[in-house]
Structure 1
Amino acid sequence: MARSALAITDFRTDPQRGAVLDFLEAWVSGDRAGAEQHVADHTNGQGTTLTARISGRIAGLITVRWTSNNPAFADRKIPLIHQLMVEPHFRRKGIGTALLDAAELSAARRGRRAIGITVGLFDEYGPAQRLYAQRGYLPDGRGACRGREPLREGQVVLIDHSLIIWLTKDITQLLPATPRPGMLPADPHG
């Protein structure tokens, strides 16, 4: 897929917010209330959702929470990629990569030196595990977790979507080479 056919749009300035909520309802939350909750904190700057469109159709989205619910990330000001979803028909066409590029650049423009993401542990997450490793995301060193809690030796758990590894990526290479003292270029999306 040619990158020129792909458009990335910020939810806050999107003229078709209803279409974004429809996508969230269909592919992420399962209901309208959940979709609206997903973007509720965007007006006060606590989150950003970027959509990828091909010929006007939403093919995927990524959401960044600027303050993670993981205290280890929040204390180090590491924003969390909370959601990355590409519609199955559009997978393996560079859309996830384009969305990650946009989220990482947005974090760098906000002066962040790293960005975080989680990934599940079972086979369904294999493609995401490979993508994140190829992009330089590394485990945070706490091992497998159920949510934010690390698993302990001998602990018996059900393998489900809550079993994750927390990953981080150094994005300092995206920072401007010569920023003004104490300043970074403004993020056009807030």
Structure 2
Amino acid sequence: MQLEKVKLLTAGAKDLSLLTDLANEMRNEKDVDYFEVLLQLQKEGLRTVYIAKNISDYVGYCLVNWSPKYGLYKRLNIPEIQDLNVLPKFRRRGIGKAMIEHCEKVVKKRGFKHIGIGVGLDASFGSAQRLYVKMGYVPDGNGVTYDRINVRSGEMRPIDDDLSLMLVKDI
């Protein structure tokens, strides 16, 4: 794995088309106003949206949700890293790890003791699952969620991006 230096920039309104282009390049279909909503929530202090850039290219994006929907995070006031995406041609270069480390530093600087992240359960999330564990994230002990709501034993849910295992880390 060739490690690559990456810088995280806080996104602004001027970056709307860039964020949309990055999502489209990853075939990561978003609602038309997804990034507009995120940037509005950022103005309100509820999210911080980051764009990752190496020396010459924009390579991904992620966000910190300061007011997550997930019940445990909400109850314990744990910020959540969400929507971590690295363009396929730049993967396996340490960019995702650098993005997570940046988010952890920002969260810690604000005085939080824990940070959360959710990960999908199908094989397409295998690399993310391994990375998060290597970085010290552990399951929160509450099982699987669907759209950030705990799934009870026997419930049927589709295996898609909304089916997640929620993880936490002490920072």
With the shorter chain as reference, the TM-score category is 0.7 to 0.9
Q: Separation in 2 of the partners of 1:157 and 1:10?
A: 35
Residues 31 and 73 of structure 1: CA distance in aligned 2, closer, same or farther (over 3 Å): closer
Which secondary structure state, in structure 2, belongs to the residue aligned with residue 155 of structure 1?
Answer: coil
2-structure distance, mates of 1:70, 1:154: 21
Q: TM-score, normalised to structure 1's length? A: 0.79
Give 5+ residue unaligned stretches, structure 2.
Answer: none
| CA–CA distance in structure 1, aligned partners of residues 53 and 64 of structure 2 | 18
The aligned runs of 1:41-52 (5 Å cut-off) are: 41-52=41-52
Q: Describe the SS at the equivalent of 1:160.
A: coil
Change (3 A) 1:57 1:170: same
Q: Once the two structures are aligned, what percentage of the paired residues are identical?
A: 31
List per-residue Cα deviations over 1:100-157 (Å, max 9, x = no partner): 0100000001101111111111111111110000001111111112223322333333
Tell me how large the CA RMSD over aligned residues is: 2.1
Show the counterpart of 1:19. Answer: 18
Q: For the structure 1 residues 29 and 46, does the alpha-carbon distance in structure 2 shift closer, same or farther, using more than 3 Å as the test?
A: farther
* Equivalent in the alignment of 2:72: 72
- Offset, 1:65: 0.7
After alignment, is 46-55 or 84-93 more displaced? 46-55
- Which secondary structure state, in structure 2, belongs to the residue aligned with residue 55 of structure 1? coil
What SS does structure 2 have at the residue aligned with 1:61? strand
Partner-residue secondary structure (3-state), 2:156: coil
Kindly state the Cα deviation for residue 2 of structure 1 after the two structures are TM-superposed.
5.2
Deviation at 1:32, TM superposition (A): 4.3
Mapped partners of 1:151, 1:55: distance in 2? 42
Q: Deviations over 1:64-90 (max 9, x none)?
A: 111111232112110011210000000
Q: Does 108-117 or 50-59 show the bigger shift?
A: 50-59
TM-score, L = length of structure 2: 0.87
Aligned partners of 2:22 and 2:87 also within 8 Å: no
Residue 2 and residue 120 in structure 1: after superposition, are their counterparts in 2 closer, same or farther (change >3 A)? closer
Q: Aligned AA for 2:154?
A: G
The aligned counterpart of 2:128 is 128
Aligned pairs, number? 169
CA distance in 2, matches of 1:37, 1:29: 15
Residue 113 of structure 1 aligns with which residue?
113
* 1:92 match: 92
> 2:63 and 2:76 mapped to 1: Cα distance?
19
* Structure with more relative contact order (C-alpha pairs < 8 Å, separation 6 or more): 2
